[in-house]
Structure 1
Amino acid sequence: MSNDPSITLDAVDQMSAYWDVITPLMGGTLAMRAAPALLPKYPAEDDEVYKERLRLSTLLPAYSETVGNMTSRVFAEPLQLGDDVPEQVVELASNIDNANNDINAWSVDFFREGLSHGLCHAFVDHQKAVGVRTQADEKAAGVRPYVVMVKPEQVCGWRVRDGVLTQVRYREIIEESDGDFGTKCVAQIRVLEPGMWTTYRKPKEGGVWAIHDQGTTNLSVIPWVTFYTGRTGFMTAKPPLLELAHLNIKHWQSQSDQDNILHVIRVPILVRIGVQAQYDNQGKVIPPEFKVGTGALTDLPINGDMKYVEHTGKAVDAGRQALLDLIAEMRMAGAKLLTPNKSATKTATQAEEEAAQDLSPLSRMANHFADCLAQLLQFMADYRSLGEGGTVEMRGSFDVDYMPEVSLPTLVAMANAGMISKETLFTEMQRRGVISDEYDWADELEKIDSQGPALGEL
């Protein structure tokens, strides 16, 4: 039995193995350099040499950019609040986190975190309302409900009964004033339970967690919502792009090797052949005097030789090709979110619902995300006793056809084989944003005809 609120559940510890890979990738080159476990040291590599290699390593941000691109697709158009959302909730949504972020701006970060890590959490908090009894009092006092995002790494644990969340604990950093001008960051653990909340702090380093503050809410449930993109169970998930993350780590390591070998082979090695070692009276080798440079003279024995030895470059070409292959594999791994999963087993209801629209994993995530936002709006409405909180509609772009790097080579090949017209190819390129919509095919065809034959046709 433990009374330590900071203790983590086994499920959290298991998911942290994913986040140890994901979080540095999302943080970029500096975050990767701060995670040396992701760049193994060579067996005989000197510590200083390894530190320098790590310091110079750079990351191709394939994982973070894929997450960003997929998130941009979901928010290709602003999300729409339904007509059934109460006016007061619409007003609250214009500053949903009480930090001047509207629901669209806040939702982008919420979705991105959920997509990268497999899940993300949020709950509806309420400012303390001392002496407030009516909504008019609440408005006059400037207190209101607002949404708080909780990243998966913050969560310590939870309790559930009959599928209902009865307790959740997470770490947070609170910024407090320090003196007349300074600020300090204080770590604390917040515990949420139906109708109440409690915060714990350590009075000093090495001390015991103790209650710092607590209060009640007018809700009979914990206003907590979890957005899943790779759900494996209640409050647990596996990042849907985990294989892409592993490929990106492999590229990070291979790129470091490639940069290191380029550094080595760019400096040719000077060797002398036929020089006999000289020994002193004690049998120790006497280092030969040797000078290299303009105006320097070096003596060699008869039949001796001296020359620079350079790398043939074959390993460099092989490494470069391996990196290109990895990039192609990462592109395929990232594109899978846009490919409809037709092989998955579906219930009869699911089959009927998806018969009219073959959903890709990303579009299903967007639909689930809309439900999560609607739940948050419902909790805000519950705080104000407004009844139904309303619905949310996502208007993203989920067509794999819009990925030029995937579809254009096929379209060009079809045009060259005479399977589609050049006008169709032109239109498809415009649809993917490769060619500006300002251009017209008839005008372009006229310009092409006026150019005369191409060089290869002369």
Structure 2
Amino acid sequence: MSNSPDATLPAVNAMRVYWERITPLMLGTLAMREAGTCLLPKYPAEEDCVYKERLALSTLLPAYSETVGNMTSRVFAEPLQLGDDVPPQIAEMAKNIDNAGNDLNSWSVAFFSEGLSHGLCHAFIDHAQVEGVRTQADEQAAGVRPYAVLVKPEQVLGWRSKGGVLTMIRYKEVVEEEDGEFGAKCVEQIRVLEPGSWRIYRKGEKAGEWEVHDEGPTSLPVIPWVTFYTGRTGFMTAKPPLMELAHLNVKHWQSQSDQDNILHVIRVPILARIGVQQQYDNQGKPLPTEFKVGVGALTDLPMNGDMKYVEHTGKAVEAGRTALKDLIDEMRMAGAKLLTPEKVATKTATQAEEDAAQELSPLERMAHQFGDCLAQLLQYMADYRSLGDGGTVEMRGNFDVDYMPEVSLPTLVSMANAGMLSHETLFTEMQRRGVISDEYKWPEELGRIGSQGPALGAI
């Protein structure tokens, strides 16, 4: 057992197997190239220089990151709503939840997105320490207040718990400090949180050793830590809910690289000479031969010799294109599963009727759980100020399965043109999908349509 604060729990290393794929997919093409052979294997007997060139030309279709972004946008289709039970002081703090200018809604977007992509994400409520400030009145006068800190899953090194309650958490962070008159430097440190106290470790003068840099008490008897799960497998552990989509996206990355490589090869025809034999001198050494290709050049060939360009038939290109299209369809289906309500295998007729109006999609359930996490963070802020109940948070997203304009709108327009759907309903459906602003009202728009005269070509 290591006594070093940077020791990593096996449970964290197990999750990092997932994140080795997830993180590059979220960061994009440059990160995928940086991963090298981990995500893009070399061909057998492929030279390093050839592989590096192929890797440098590979590009990522951002299916995973865009799915995470689109699903997060659904959750925040409307700004989250603080309940009427949130104390005024906490509601005011929520306008600058992280003490860096971000309100609760905009800060929460990154919190939710990270949790959705990696399976979980963490946050805690910190409180600045200022000398000479002892009472809450002094804190408010000095501008000292509790604030939220986002901790990404890769930062966490380990934890301890007892009875499902966190008793210690360790994570790495990087802070920026002044360096000289104008410069700044980034310093890596490890923060250790325990009920009622905190410590910060930094590397000492001896290589590999960590020393306590700072420490202090907190006024709470618990660690004000919240973990948002989207694919929970246990306490502080999770599997990304879109992991199968991640595998498909990596497969597409590899297949796209193969496809680009094939295109690169077949676009350059190979010039072949047929019937030309190597000439040797009396000592058996090959004689130099002059070979010129190009405009204004003459090449001699022996009797019955031939020269021509050899080109690829292109069948492999079409097969590769079809495979890529199939992968895109599979990825689209894998991402859409978050919007499909989960069905119970066996239900009685009564249960089916009672649950019909209460079925939630996985994404909607995540949104409700996320609202509870935010409420817990507000509760910790209220505990720091002894304000009692911290209140509730309501998530107002759009979780409709058909909320995909590029898919559903052509069908709706066709129905309206065929007289199977009223123009007013079509207008409403377009507003629901965000195609038309909610500021417009159908009666007013109908009046504008009537006043603009007949359509072009109708006269």
Question: Cα 1:305–1:427, aligned 2, differ >3 Å: closer, same or farther?
Answer: farther
The residue type equivalent to 1:102 in the other structure is: D
The residue type equivalent to 1:31 in the other structure is: A
Judge conservation of contact 2:167–2:195 (CA < 8 Å) in 1.
yes
Query: Displacement of 1:272 after TM fit?
Result: 1.1
Judge conservation of contact 1:258–1:319 (CA < 8 Å) in 2.
yes
Query: Displacement of 1:281 after TM fit?
Result: 2.4
Judge conservation of contact 1:426–1:441 (CA < 8 Å) in 2.
no
What is the correspondence of 1:227-376 to structure 2 with a 5 Å cutoff? 227-343=228-344, 354-376=355-377
The residue type equivalent to 1:277 in the other structure is: Q
CA offset digits 1:241-275 (Å, max 9, x no partner)? 11111111011111111111111111111111111
Give distance in 2, aligned partners of 1:352 and 1:370: 27
The residue type equivalent to 1:7 in the other structure is: A
Aligned to 1:455: none
Query: Displacement of 1:441 after TM fit?
Result: 8.8
Give distance in 1, aligned partners of 2:158 and 2:314: 53
SS in 2 for 1:157: strand
SS in 2 for 1:220: coil
Aligned to 2:8: 8
Judge conservation of contact 2:121–2:227 (CA < 8 Å) in 1.
yes
Question: Cα 1:341–1:299, aligned 2, differ >3 Å: closer, same or farther?
Answer: same
Query: Displacement of 1:187 after TM fit?
Result: 1.0
Give distance in 1, aligned partners of 2:93 and 2:399: 29
Give distance in 1, aligned partners of 2:290 and 2:93: 81
Question: Cα 1:209–1:21, aligned 2, differ >3 Å: closer, same or farther?
Answer: same
Question: Cα 1:271–1:447, aligned 2, differ >3 Å: closer, same or farther?
Answer: farther
CA offset digits 1:381-418 (Å, max 9, x no partner)? 000000000000111000011123554577689899x8
Aligned to 2:102: 101
What is the correspondence of 1:10-159 to structure 2 with a 5 Å cutoff? 10-36=10-36, 37-159=38-160
Aligned to 2:404: 403
CA offset digits 1:228-247 (Å, max 9, x no partner)? 01101100000001111111
CA offset digits 1:174-206 (Å, max 9, x no partner)? 111111111111111111000000111111362
Give distance in 2, aligned partners of 1:368 and 1:250: 32
Judge conservation of contact 1:195–1:219 (CA < 8 Å) in 2.
yes
2:176 is the alignment partner of 1:188: no
Judge conservation of contact 1:430–1:436 (CA < 8 Å) in 2.
yes
SS in 1 for 2:185: strand
The residue type equivalent to 1:158 in the other structure is: W
The residue type equivalent to 1:302 in the other structure is: M
Percent identity, aligned pairs only?
76
Query: Displacement of 1:3 after TM fit?
Result: 1.3
Give distance in 2, aligned partners of 1:208 and 1:352: 63
Contiguous gaps of at least 5 residues in structure 1: 453-458
Give distance in 1, aligned partners of 2:254 and 2:49: 18
The residue type equivalent to 2:369 in the other structure is: H
TM-score, structure 1 as length reference: 0.91
Stretches of 4+ moved more than 4 A in 1? 350-355, 405-416, 418-431, 433-444, 446-452
Question: Cα 1:275–1:233, aligned 2, differ >3 Å: closer, same or farther?
Answer: same
TM-score, structure 2 as length reference: 0.90
Contiguous gaps of at least 5 residues in structure 2: none
Give distance in 2, aligned partners of 1:403 and 1:54: 34
RMSD over equivalenced CA pairs, Å: 2.7
Judge conservation of contact 2:61–2:253 (CA < 8 Å) in 1.
yes
Question: Cα 1:429–1:91, aligned 2, differ >3 Å: closer, same or farther?
Answer: closer
Judge conservation of contact 1:171–1:190 (CA < 8 Å) in 2.
yes
Give distance in 1, aligned partners of 2:54 and 2:152: 32
Judge conservation of contact 2:168–2:195 (CA < 8 Å) in 1.
yes
Judge conservation of contact 2:6–2:190 (CA < 8 Å) in 1.
yes
Give distance in 2, aligned partners of 1:90 and 1:283: 92
2:180 is the alignment partner of 1:176: no
Give distance in 2, aligned partners of 1:147 and 1:230: 23
Judge conservation of contact 1:272–1:306 (CA < 8 Å) in 2.
yes
Question: Cα 1:378–1:266, aligned 2, differ >3 Å: closer, same or farther?
Answer: same
Give distance in 1, aligned partners of 2:279 and 2:419: 78
Comparing 133-142 with 376-385, which one deviates more in the overlay? 133-142
Give distance in 2, aligned partners of 1:430 and 1:190: 48
Give distance in 1, aligned partners of 2:354 and 2:17: 36
Query: Displacement of 1:283 after TM fit?
Result: 2.1
Judge conservation of contact 2:95–2:104 (CA < 8 Å) in 1.
yes
Judge conservation of contact 1:230–1:237 (CA < 8 Å) in 2.
yes
Question: Cα 1:421–1:79, aligned 2, differ >3 Å: closer, same or farther?
Answer: closer
Question: Cα 1:75–1:124, aligned 2, differ >3 Å: closer, same or farther?
Answer: same
CA offset digits 1:188-226 (Å, max 9, x no partner)? 111100000011111136231111111001100000000
Give distance in 2, aligned partners of 1:239 and 1:67: 11
Judge conservation of contact 2:412–2:421 (CA < 8 Å) in 1.
no
The residue type equivalent to 1:263 in the other structure is: H
Aligned length: 448
Give distance in 1, aligned partners of 2:341 and 2:117: 20
Judge conservation of contact 2:5–2:190 (CA < 8 Å) in 1.
yes
Query: Displacement of 1:47 after TM fit?
Result: 0.4
Give distance in 2, aligned partners of 1:76 and 1:205: 52
CA offset digits 1:398-453 (Å, max 9, x no partner)? 0011123554577689899x895585778656643567887979969x9689659x
The residue type equivalent to 1:13 in the other structure is: N
2:235 is the alignment partner of 1:216: no
Judge conservation of contact 1:174–1:187 (CA < 8 Å) in 2.
yes
Give distance in 1, aligned partners of 2:204 and 2:346: 54
Question: Cα 1:321–1:72, aligned 2, differ >3 Å: closer, same or farther?
Answer: same
Judge conservation of contact 1:203–1:209 (CA < 8 Å) in 2.
yes
Give distance in 2, aligned partners of 1:107 and 1:392: 12
Comparing 277-286 with 80-89, which one deviates more in the overlay? 277-286
Judge conservation of contact 1:95–1:101 (CA < 8 Å) in 2.
yes
Judge conservation of contact 1:197–1:214 (CA < 8 Å) in 2.
yes
